[in-house]
Structure 1
Amino acid sequence: MVPDDVVSLFENDTALNLLLASIDQNPVKIKLKGLSGSADAINLLAVSKKTNRPILVILHDKEEANLLINDLFNLNYKGSYSLFPTSYKTPYQFDLIDNANILQRSETLNHIMNTKNHIVLTYPEALVEKVLNKRSLIQNTFKASVGESVDVEFLSELFITYGFEGTDFVYEPGQFALRGGIVDVYSYSSAFPYRLELFGNEIESIRQFDPESQLSRERVKEAMIMPNTQTRMLKEERISLLNYLPVNALIWIKDLRETEDIIARGFEKATHSFEEILKISNESKVIDSPELLFETPDTFTASIKNRTVIEFGKRSFLKTSIEIDFATKPQPSFNKNFELLAESLGQLQHEDFKILIFSDSDKQLERLVTIFEELNVGLHFIGIVAGLQAGFISENLKIACFTDHQIFDRIHRTNQKPKFNKKKALSLKELKSLHTGDYVVHIDHGIARFAGLDKISRNGNQQEVIRLVYRDDDLLYVSIHALHKISKYAGQEGTPPLTNKLGSKEWE
Structure 2
Amino acid sequence: MKEDTLTSIFRNHPVLVSVRNTVAANPAGRTVIDGLTGSAKAILVAKAFQSSSRTFMVVLPEKEDAAYFYNDLTSLTDAEIVYFFPSTYKRSVQYEQTEPANIVLRTEVLNHLASGKRKGIIVTYPEALMEKVISKKNLKTNTFNIAKGDKLSIEFIEEMLQEYRFERVDFVNEPGQYSIRGSIADIFSFSEDLPYRLDFFGDEVDSIRTFNTDDQLSVSTKNQISVIPNIQDIHIEKINDTFTDFLPPSSIIIFDEAPFIKDKINDIYYQTSRREESGHVVGKKEIIITGNHLMEECSKFRIVEFGKKGFFAGEYVSFRFNTEPQPVFNKNFGLLADKLLENSANGYETYIVSESQSQIKRLEDIFSEVNPEVSFKPLYKNIHAGFTDNDMKIAIYTDHQIFDRYHKFKIRGYFSRKESISVKELTGLNPGDYVVHIDHGIGKFGGLEK
- Per the normalisation by structure 1, the TM-score is 0.79
Shift of 1:261: 0.9
Q: How does 1:147-166 map to 2 (within 5 A)?
A: 147-166=149-168
Q: Secondary structure at the match of 2:51?
A: helix
Q: Is the 8 A contact 2:352 2:378 kept in 1?
A: yes
CA contact (8 A) 2:94 2:271 kept: no
Structure with larger RCO (C-alpha < 8 A, sep 6+): 2
Q: Contact 2:103–2:190 (CA<8 Å) still a contact in 1?
A: yes
Query: Deviations along 1:296-349, whole A, 9 cap, x unmatched?
Result: 233212212221111114664235521111211111112222222111111212
Q: Deviation string for 1:32-70 (max 9, x for gaps)?
A: 111111111111111111112111111011111111122
Query: Counterpart of 1:347 in structure 2: which amino acid?
Result: E
Q: How does 1:96-495 map to 2 (within 5 A)?
A: 96-114=97-115, 115-276=117-278, 290=285, 292-313=286-307, 316-318=310-312, 319-417=314-412, 444=420, 486-487=426-427, 490-492=430-432
Q: Please state whether the residue corresponding to 1:260 is helix, strand or coil.
A: helix
For the aligned residue pairs, the C-alpha RMSD in angstroms reads 3.0
The one-letter amino acid paired with 1:396 is D
Partner of 1:251: helix, strand, or coil? strand
Is the CA contact 1:37–1:331 (under 8 Å) kept in the aligned structure 2?
Answer: yes
Q: 1:11 to 1:265 in 2, by over 3 A?
A: same
1:299 aligned partner, one-letter code: H
Q: Measured at CA, do residues 215 and 506 of structure 1 come closer, stay the same or move farther in structure 2, by a change above 3 Å?
A: same
Contact kept in structure 1, 2:84 and 2:411, CA below 8 Å: no
| CA–CA distance in structure 1, aligned partners of residues 46 and 88 of structure 2 | 27
- Give the CA deviation at 1:260: 1.1
Q: Is 1:5 aligned to 2:5, yes or no?
A: yes
Q: How many residues are paired up?
A: 437
Aligned-pair identity (%): 32
Helix, strand or coil: the match of 1:7? helix
Give me the TM-score of the superposition, normalised by structure 2: 0.89
Paired letter, 1:232: I
Greater Cα shift, 244-253 or 100-109: 100-109
- Give the structure with higher Rg (CA): 1
Distance in 2, matches of 1:15 and 1:271, equals 45
Check conservation: 2:355, 2:381, Cα contact below 8 A: yes
Partner deviation per Cα, 1:187-226 (whole Å, 9 max, x = no partner) = 1111111111111111111111122222111111111111
Deviation at 1:253, TM superposition (A): 0.6
SS of 1:51's equivalent in the other structure is: coil
- For residue 92 of structure 1, report the CA deviation from its aligned partner: 7.6
Give the distance between the partners of 2:211 and 2:296, measured in 1 at CA. Answer: 42
Q: Distance in 1 between matches of 2:190 and 2:162?
A: 14
The one-letter amino acid paired with 1:56 is M
Amino acid at match of 2:390: E
Query: Where does structure 1 lack aligned partners over 5 or more consecutive residues?
Result: 281-285, 422-441, 447-481
- Distance of 1:353 and 1:29 partners within structure 2: 33
Which stretches in structure 2 are left out of the alignment for 5+ residues? 443-450
The answer (yes or no) to whether the contact 1:331–1:390 under 8 Å persists in 2 is yes
Corresponding residue for residue 74 of structure 1: 75
Partner of 1:65: 66
Q: Which amino acid aligns with 2:229?
A: P
1:173, 1:188 within 8 Å by CA — same for their partners in 2? Answer: yes
Q: Secondary structure at the match of 1:357?
A: strand
